[in-house]
Amino acid sequence: MNTIYLDNNATTKVAPEVLEEMLPYLTDFYGNPSSMYTFGGQLKKKIEEAREKVALLLGADPEEIIFTSGGTESDNTAIMSAVESFPAKRHIITTRVEHPAVRNFCKHLARKGYRITFLPVDNQGQLNIDDLVKAIDDDTLLVTIMFANNEVGTVFPIQEIGEILRERKILFHTDAVQAVGKIPIDLNKVPVDMLSLSGHKLHAPKGIGALYIRKGSRFYPYIIGGHQEKGRRAGTENVPSIIGLGKACELAMLNIDNEYNYVSKLRDKLEKSLLKLCPDVRINGDPEKRLPNTTNLSFEYVEGEAILLRMNEYGICASSGSACTSGSLEPSHVLRAMGVPFTAIHGSIRFSLSRYNTEEEIDKVIEILPGIINTLRLLSPFGRDRLQLKKI
Ligand code: PLP
C-alpha cells in the first residue's frame, strides 16, 4: 500500500537534492569546523554558504542568521533574548493560537512573574489589530506573533503589525516556521526584529533551524558555551543538517511561486470536493489569507480519531485537532480560541500538502473519505439521526 502523506505541517520528506548535498558530510567530511587543520576548518566555508542561502530566501543579510536545533529553540531563544535585553520590563504580548514553543514558554515566564497578554482571534483565526494596539504599554518588552498558523493555516498581517511596532520601538518576533518556503517573505520590507524557522517543515531534516536577528537589534544568547555562531549560539555545528537547510532554502527560493500554485490547486480541489460530497462539513480558518498547502475541515458528528484510523487503513496520513491525537489532554487550543463548537473540534482534520503530492493521491482521498465519513456517521446515533433527517 502506498502512503498518501498529507501531514506536511507536522513534518516533511527530506528532498532528494537535500539528502544528496548532505551525505558527504555524514560520511567523508566529518571534521569539526572549529579545528585548525583543513579537514575540519574547510567546513566553515560550507556553513557560510548555507547561511547565505537561508538569508537569500528571507531577504536578509547572512550575518543576521544563526543556526539552531529547530523552531522550538529559535522561538525560546528569541523570547529569552528579549527578556534579557529589557530587564526592567515585564510584559509580553502574544496570541492565543501560537505553537506550544511560544505559548508554553510564555506561560513559563508568567509563572516567573511576567505579565503575558494572549490576544484573541476571531472565528477565522484572525487578529484584530486594535486589540494589539490597546495591549501595548510602557512595560511591553516584546510582541511575539506567528506568521502563519500551523493548525488552520491562517496568515497574520505581519507587515502591518511590524510597522505599528517599529513606530513604537517595540521588539517584534515572529514564529515563521510554517510560512518559510511556502509564502514569499522579504525581510527588507517586513519590519520584524527576529524570525524563527525550522528545517523539517521545508524538506530539510529534523533538528535544524535558524533564527534571524535584525542587524542592530539587541541579542542575548540562550545556549551558552563555545564561541560558535560568533558567540550567539554555542555548540558544535550540525554541519550536514546546516548544509541540508541551505539546500532546502535554495530549492524553496527557486520554486516558491510554482509550488504555491501547484499545491494550492491540489488543496482547493480536495477541499471543494469534500465540501460537495460530505454534508455538514465546515472549513476552519481564513479561507483567503491562508497557507497554500493547508485545509482544516470539521466533519460534524464524527470523531477525528476515528477518521484518522480509518484513513490509516488506506495509507492516508493527516492529523486531528481532537485531544487524543494531538498528544495533549486538551482539544486544539487554536480551534477553541476561534470559538469552533466542541462537536466540530472533535471532528476536525488537518490536511497539509507538499510539492510531493500528486493529483492521483488527492483523487484517491476524494474517492475514499466521503465513504468513511458516511460509515462513521451511521455508527453514531446522533450522526444517524442527522442523516435520516436529511433524507426526509
Ligand atoms: N512553531 C510552529 C508554528 C510549528 O508548527 C512548529 C512545529 O510544529 C514549531 C514552532 C516547532 O518547530 P520544531 O519542531 O523544529 O522544534
Q: Which three cell numbers stand for residue 23?
A: 551525505
pTM: 0.96
Q: What is the pLDDT of residues 228-286, one digit of tens each?
A: 999 999 999 999 999 999 999 999 999 999 999 999 999 999 999 999 999 999 999 99
The residue type of 328 is: S
The separation between the first and the last C-alpha atoms of the chain, rounded to the nearest angstrom, is: 39
Q: How far apart are CA 178 and CA 9, in angstroms?
A: 7
- Residues with Cβ within 8 Å of 109's Cβ and at least 6 positions away in sequence, in order, are 79, 83, 92, 116
* 263 pocket-lining for ligand 1 (C-beta < 6 Å): no
What is the structure's pLDDT at 321?
Answer: 79
Sequence-distant (6+) residues with CB within 8 A of 216 are none
Pocket test for ligand 1, best of 14, 67, 72, 174 (most atoms within 8 A of CB): 72
Helix (H/G/I), strand (E/B), else coil: 391: helix
Question: Rounded to an integer, what distance in angstroms lies between the CA atom of residue 270 and that of residue 260?
Answer: 15
pLDDT at 347: 95
Give whole-number Cα distances, 128 to 23, 150, 165, 173, in Å. 47, 19, 15, 18
Dihedral sign for Cα 365, 368, 370, 375, please.
negative
Whether the CB of 95 sits within 6 Å of ligand 1: no
Residue 87 identity: P
Instruction: Compute the distance between CA of residue 34 and CA of residue 31 in angstroms, rounded to an integer.
Output: 9
Neighbours of 155 (CB within 10 A): 23
Q: Is the CB of 179 under 6 A from ligand 1?
A: no
pLDDT of residue 379: 86
- Tell me how crowded residue 364 is: count the other CB atoms within 10 A of its CB: 16
**Are the C-beta atoms of 244 and 18 separated by less than 8 Å?**
yes
The residue ranges of the chain whose pLDDT is under 50 are none
Query: Which has the closest alpha carbon to 384: 277, 313, 280?
Result: 280
Ligand 1 centre to CA of 385 (Å) is 40
State the residue for C-alpha cell 480536495: 270
What DSSP assignment string belongs to 245-271? HHHHHHHHHHHHHHHHHHHHHHHHHHH
H or E, element range at 210: strand 209-213
Beta-carbon-side half-sphere exposure of residue 217 (alpha carbons within 13 Å):
29
Pair 22, 258: CB distance under 8 Å = no
Q: How far is CA 22 from the centre of its chain?
A: 23
User: What's the distance, CA 391 to chain centroid?
Assistant: 41
Question: From the CB of 71, is ligand 1 less than 6 Å away?
Answer: yes
Active-site annotation, residues: 324
Instruction: Please state, rounded to an integer, the average pLDDT across all residues of the chain.
Output: 95
Q: Is 137 exposed, middle or buried, given 0-12, 13-18 or 19+ CB atoms closer than 10 A?
A: exposed
